[in-house]
């Protein structure tokens, strides 16, 4: 599957509506046109909104990361633990065991690929130049394997999810735990040049879309009544499930897209409509948390997210395979018709040759009744037949691609439901999100089988036994540390059976977060812990240090898992600011100042932006963080009017993701 085929609009964040004039230029934001991509060599490039000769390339080249010595950061551990059979049981011929696969993945483009893309771009767009890679907004990637039977006995988790690296050269880690049977099969699969395990990426990038003469209208009362949402069986939905429901609602008329004139980008506008409605109804879980195995496994008899993703993958594969069966049958019929036509043509030529050369009628009849004309007259080997193929004749159809992966993008329905009719005009430059999908096999790792990347261990010797715990921060990347926190420390406390206590600690900051691939280690050993199950138990405590010297120390928690998932005690929050040009002009507003108040570790913080109405800047976004269980924030709007008059809204409480700032308070 090439990059063009992998580009698909995702149902992600609600776009801000912006006019082209006076768009604010920020140091951290790239302003690119999403609907003007250009293929340059192996790379796909997007132009800058403000300079059509400036391009940014998509970093869609995933691979296994390597350490400082150039060694792939990958491990496959098969383990076995000896077990004894009971007195009333047959003898145990095999111990219990399984496997753990851990991989650190990087996104990077080589200098040669960039140079080739620059040359091709200059040829296609004279004067154009590449400025660098596109910075992704967010992304998910999965460690995916397709071997899973209907009972789920081969793998405990088909998709191992992780937060994808966002910058060129960044790394991210993901793990997958296997049952004994799954570990056996995958171990043998690594004996082949293309193992049955791959990386699947879904990356989100932000940019702008060109104006369209269209209006979106959505009836939320009908939308929430749809069978996918109205039953309230689940609060978490897959992106594909949401799109399927929206397709139904569009056919039923609950979602309408009205065009003025003709526009070739109808599908793009439909996806934009879905994006806006989705942002109002759902919150993506990819930014601040990743569903844990307990969450993904389902509860109360419901299907798990992973099972639903697997079912959708199976349905999509079955549909594609059925379509390919029909295509192959049609192509076979076309080939047979073509063969018969060629045979008829050859027989006619043979008859013509026989008549002109004085051949007998019996010879002509014999030639007319056989398909064996010899190599010189066989179909496809007639040098004198220079007739070109009829372009209007039916052509063979190419088979559709059968999906191989089922990465999960998860959304949670908001508790507050919108009501009534929602309308928005697309006849302006709009910010939007584009989801890029690309996949890559893990590659041929047979040369590593003799090293320590592949290990098989027996866990039965307690004296030398130690336990290494993997610590990873959920829903964060290296940039988050620079924006929100200084560091996080994790303390380990293990009480042994003899009364001794082992302690360990790891400090996570922006620097080592990136270098370690979000995979940190804590360790404790065996000290006469004859109770093997209790030896697995330990306690840990996390302390978060925020900018400004504030700290949040969490309580000690008991655990026994082999990995510690650190969930930040806060969530990212974005508030979109929008103002109607007519309302602003009527009120004679010059500037609009907006302050957002929120608390971080008990201390109030303030973020502020100013909209310059005189320059047409009537929308913006404020990003901040809230406690994980909080939805509300305080805000204050100040309007500077003609004549240097100032009007303030006073401090108010809000929870919406869109704040309309064009209603000037009286006074």
- Determine the average pLDDT of the residues in 608-615: 88
How many C-alpha atoms does 292 have within 13 Å on its Cβ side?
A: 11
Cβ-in-10-Å burial (0-12, 13-18, 19+) of 85 comes to: exposed
Lowest-confidence segment of 15-24, 153-162, 454-463, 564-573 by average pLDDT? 15-24
Nearest to 283 by CA among 480, 16, 573, 10: 573
Alpha helices in 108-158 (DSSP H): 111-124
- Nearest-angstrom CA–CA distance, 97 and 282: 40
498 token code pair: 């003899």
Residue 145 has a pLDDT of: 72
Lowest-confidence segment of 86-90, 197-201, 471-475, 623-627 by average pLDDT? 86-90
Domain 571-660 has CATH 2.60.40: yes
Nearest to 254 by CA among 282, 284, 283, 227: 227
- Nearest-angstrom CA–CA distance, 8 and 243: 12
DSSP track, 294-342 = HHHT-STTPPPHHHHHHHHHHHHHHHHHHHHHHHHHHHHHHHHHHHHHH
What CATH class is the domain 464-568? mainly beta
Lowest-confidence segment of 24-28, 61-65, 436-440 by average pLDDT? 24-28
Residue 205 has a pLDDT of: 86
Is the pLDDT assigned to residue 149 strictly greater than 90?
A: no
Regarding predicted confidence, which is higher, 597 or 571? 597
Lowest-confidence segment of 252-266, 271-285, 522-536 by average pLDDT? 252-266
Residue 241 has a pLDDT of: 77
580 token code pair: 């109607």
pLDDT digits (tens, 9 = 90+) for 202-249: 888 888 887 777 788 888 888 888 877 765 445 677 777 787 788 888
272 token code pair: 């934009």
249 token code pair: 């609602």
Residue 294 has a pLDDT of: 37
Is the pLDDT assigned to residue 371 strictly greater than 80?
A: no
- Determine the average pLDDT of the residues in 354-383: 48
Regarding predicted confidence, which is higher, 98 or 4? 98
Regarding predicted confidence, which is higher, 15 or 177? 177
How many angstroms separate the Cα of 77 from the Cα of each of 80, 176, 185, 288, 400?
Answer: 10, 11, 13, 30, 37
Residue 540 has a pLDDT of: 95
Regarding predicted confidence, which is higher, 5 or 251? 251
Regarding predicted confidence, which is higher, 404 or 261? 261
- Determine the average pLDDT of the residues in 603-617: 87
Segments of the chain assigned to CATH 2.60.40: 464-568, 571-660
- Nearest-angstrom CA–CA distance, 158 and 310: 8
> Edge-to-edge, what's the strand order for the sheet holding 54-57?
38-40, 43-47, 54-57, 129-133
- Nearest-angstrom CA–CA distance, 629 and 168: 33
Is the pLDDT assigned to residue 272 strictly greater than 50?
A: yes
| Helix (H) / strand (E) containing 584 | helix 581-586
DSSP code for 446: G
Regarding predicted confidence, which is higher, 397 or 233? 397
- Nearest-angstrom CA–CA distance, 441 and 195: 8
Is the pLDDT assigned to residue 464 strictly greater than 50?
A: yes
Lowest-confidence segment of 250-259, 643-652, 654-663 by average pLDDT? 250-259
- Nearest-angstrom CA–CA distance, 237 and 480: 26
pLDDT band, very low/low/confident/very high, at 314 (cuts 50, 70, 90)? low
pLDDT digits (tens, 9 = 90+) for 75-131: 899 988 877 777 677 776 777 888 888 888 888 888 999 999 999 999 989 999 999
Highest mean pLDDT among 158-162, 182-186, 216-220, 532-536 belongs to 532-536
Is the pLDDT assigned to residue 288 strictly greater than 90?
A: no
**Using an 8 Å Cβ cutoff, are 490 and 566 in contact?**
yes
């Amino acid at each position: 599957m090439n990059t063009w085929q992998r580009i698909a609009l995702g149902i992600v964040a609600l776009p801000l509506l912006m006019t082209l004039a006076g768009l604010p230029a920020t140091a951290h934001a790239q302003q690119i046109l999403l609907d003007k991509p250009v293929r340059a060599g192996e790379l796909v490039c997007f132009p800058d909104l403000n300079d059509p000769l400036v391009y940014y390339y998509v970093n869609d080249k995933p691979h296994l990361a390597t350490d400082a010595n150039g060694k792939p950061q990958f491990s496959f551990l098969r383990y076995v633990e000896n077990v004894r059979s009971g007195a009333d049981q047959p003898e145990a011929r095999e111990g219990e065991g399984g496997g753990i696969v851990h991989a650190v993945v990087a996104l990077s483009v080589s200098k040669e690929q960039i140079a080739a893309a620059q040359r091709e771009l200059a040829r296609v767009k004279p004067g154009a130049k590449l400025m660098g890679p596109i910075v992704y907004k967010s992304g998910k990637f999965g460690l995916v394997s397709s071997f899973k039977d209907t009972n789920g006995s081969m793998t405990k988790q088909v998709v191992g999810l992780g937060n994808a690296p966002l910058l060129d050269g960044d790394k991210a880690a993901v793990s997958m735990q296997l049952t004994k049977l799954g570990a056996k099969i995958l171990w043998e699969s690594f004996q082949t040049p293309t193992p049955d395990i791959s990386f699947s990426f879904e990356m989100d990038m932000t940019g702008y879309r060109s104006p369209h003469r269209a209006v979106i209208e959505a009836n939320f009362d009908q939308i929430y009544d749809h069978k996918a949402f109205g039953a309230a069986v689940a609060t978490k939905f897959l992106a594909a499930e949401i799109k399927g429901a929206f397709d139904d609602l569009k056919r039923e008329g609950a979602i309408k897209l009205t065009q003025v004139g003709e526009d070739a980008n109808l599908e793009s506008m439909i996806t934009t409509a879905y994006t806006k409605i989705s942002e109002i109804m759902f919150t993506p879980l990819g930014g601040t948390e990743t569903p844990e195995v307990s969450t993904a496994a389902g509860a109360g008899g419901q299907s798990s997210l992973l099972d639903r993703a697997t079912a959708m993958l199976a349905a999509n594969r079955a549909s594609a395979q059925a379509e390919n069966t029909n295509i192959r049958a049609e192509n076979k019929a076309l080939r047979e018709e073509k063969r018969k036509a060629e045979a008829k043509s050859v027989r006619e030529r043979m008859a013509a040759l026989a008549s002109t050369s004085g051949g007998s009628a019996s010879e002509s009849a014999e030639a007319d009744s056989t398909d064996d004309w010899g190599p010189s007259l066989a179909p496809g080997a007639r040098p004198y037949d220079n007739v070109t193929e009829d372009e209007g004749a039916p052509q063979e159809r190419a088979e559709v691609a059968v999906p191989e992966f089922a990465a999960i993008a998860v959304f949670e329905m908001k508790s507050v439901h919108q009501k009534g009719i929602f309308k928005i005009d697309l006849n302006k430059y709009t910010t939007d999100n584009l989801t890029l999908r690309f996949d890559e096999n893990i590659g041929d790792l047979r040369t590593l089988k003799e090293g320590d990347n592949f290990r098989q261990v027996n866990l039965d010797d307690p004296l030398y036994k130690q336990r290494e715990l993997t610590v990873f921060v959920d829903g964060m990347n290296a940039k988050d540390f620079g924006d929100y926190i200084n560091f996080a420390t994790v303390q380990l406390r293990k009480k042994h059976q003899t009364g001794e206590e082992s302690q360990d600690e790891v400090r996570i900051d922006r620097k080592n977060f990136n270098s370690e691939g979000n995979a940190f280690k804590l360790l404790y050993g065996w000290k006469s812990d004859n109770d093997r199950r209790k030896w697995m138990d330990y306690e840990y405590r996390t302390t978060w240090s925020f900018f400004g010297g504030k700290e949040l120390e969490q309580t000690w928690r008991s655990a026994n898992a082999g990995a510690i998932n650190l969930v930040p005690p806060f969530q990212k929050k974005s508030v979109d600011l929008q103002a109607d040009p007519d309302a602003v002009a009527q009120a004679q507003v010059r500037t609009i100042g907006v302050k957002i108040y929120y608390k971080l570790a008990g201390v109030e913080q303030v973020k502020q932006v100013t909209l310059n109405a005189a320059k047409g800047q009537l929308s913006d976004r404020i990003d901040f963080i809230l406690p994980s269980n909080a939805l509300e924030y305080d805000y204050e709007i100040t309007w500077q009017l003609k004549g240097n008059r100032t009007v303030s809204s006073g401090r108010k409480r809000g929870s919406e993701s869109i704040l309309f700032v064009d209603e000037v308070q009286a006074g």
